[in-house]
């Protein structure tokens, strides 16, 4: 697999603690499977113009318990399709964390991120080392790095692309 790096950067949109999957993508939109439709409604209950703000590419910063609630894969899909390049949080709901990785959305546990990073800051994240540089070196935080197969899945763009890249055939 090698020692490949994944670097993500962008302006920050900051949210609080306990952002559940019904806030990330409200249940009424789960009838849609098209990521571009889901994207338009991402974070709608909390930030009505989220899609406009995120569409050029952002890093979402949150507190504790991001992605809690029902297990809905569409939450990670909606965020990624809306322009979220990564989510940095104090902690994640386990099922959301894995859904995000499997859908190619980097999610990093970063102690102190909700206190050290503000809305509008610019961050550069090295997913493979866990280094989070805030405002071009003004501050530095350390995340738990994503390595091994999870990193390869992210670099591939998600689990499906990872499987395809390994030459697995059949009806995937």
Enumerate domains of the chain plus CATH numbers. Answer: 12-114+141-153 (3.20.19.10)
Global pTM reads: 0.93
Mean pLDDT across 41-65: 97
Please determine, for residue 171, whether its predicted confidence score (pLDDT) is greater than 60: no
Q: For residue 114, with 0-12 CB atoms within 10 Å meaning exposed, 13-18 middle and 19 or more buried, which class applies?
A: buried
Of 132, 116, 32, 43, the closest CA to residue 83 belongs to 43
pLDDT tens for each residue of 68-87: 998 889 999 999 999 999 99
Rounded to whole angstroms, the Cα distance separating 168 from 103 reads 18
Mean pLDDT across 51-75: 95
**High-pLDDT (> 70) share of the chain, %:** 95
* Dihedral sign, Cα of residue 150, residue 156, residue 161, residue 166: negative
Give pLDDT, residue 90.
97
Of 41, 42, 32, 96, the closest CA to residue 64 belongs to 96
Please determine, for residue 157, whether its predicted confidence score (pLDDT) is greater than 60: yes
Give pLDDT, residue 4.
84
Helix (H) or strand (E) holding 10: strand 7-14
How many beta carbons lie within 10 A of that of residue 62, not counting itself? 24
Q: What is the mean pLDDT of the chain?
A: 93
pLDDT tens for each residue of 112-142: 999 999 999 999 999 999 999 999 889 999 9
Give pLDDT, residue 169.
62
């Amino acid at each position: 697999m090698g020692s490949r790096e994944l670097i993500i950067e962008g302006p920050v949109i900051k949210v609080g603690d306990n952002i559940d999957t019904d806030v990330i993508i409200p249940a009424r939109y789960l009838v849609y499977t098209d990521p571009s439709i889901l994207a338009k409604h991402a974070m709608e209950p909390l930030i009505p113009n989220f899609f406009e703000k995120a569409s050029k590419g952002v890093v979402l910063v949150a507190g504790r318990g991001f992605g809690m609630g029902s297990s809905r894969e569409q939450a990670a899909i909606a965020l990624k399709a809306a322009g979220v390049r990564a989510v940095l949080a104090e902690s994640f709901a386990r099922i959301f964390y894995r859904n995000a990785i499997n859908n190619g959305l980097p999610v990093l546990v970063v102690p102190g991120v909700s206190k050290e990073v503000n809305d509008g800051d610019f961050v550069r994240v090295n997913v493979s080392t866990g280094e989070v540089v805030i405002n071009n070196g003004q501050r530095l935080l350390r995340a738990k790095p994503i390595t091994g197969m999870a990193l390869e899945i992210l670099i591939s763009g998600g689990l499906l692309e990872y499987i395809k890249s390994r030459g697995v055939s059949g009806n995937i």
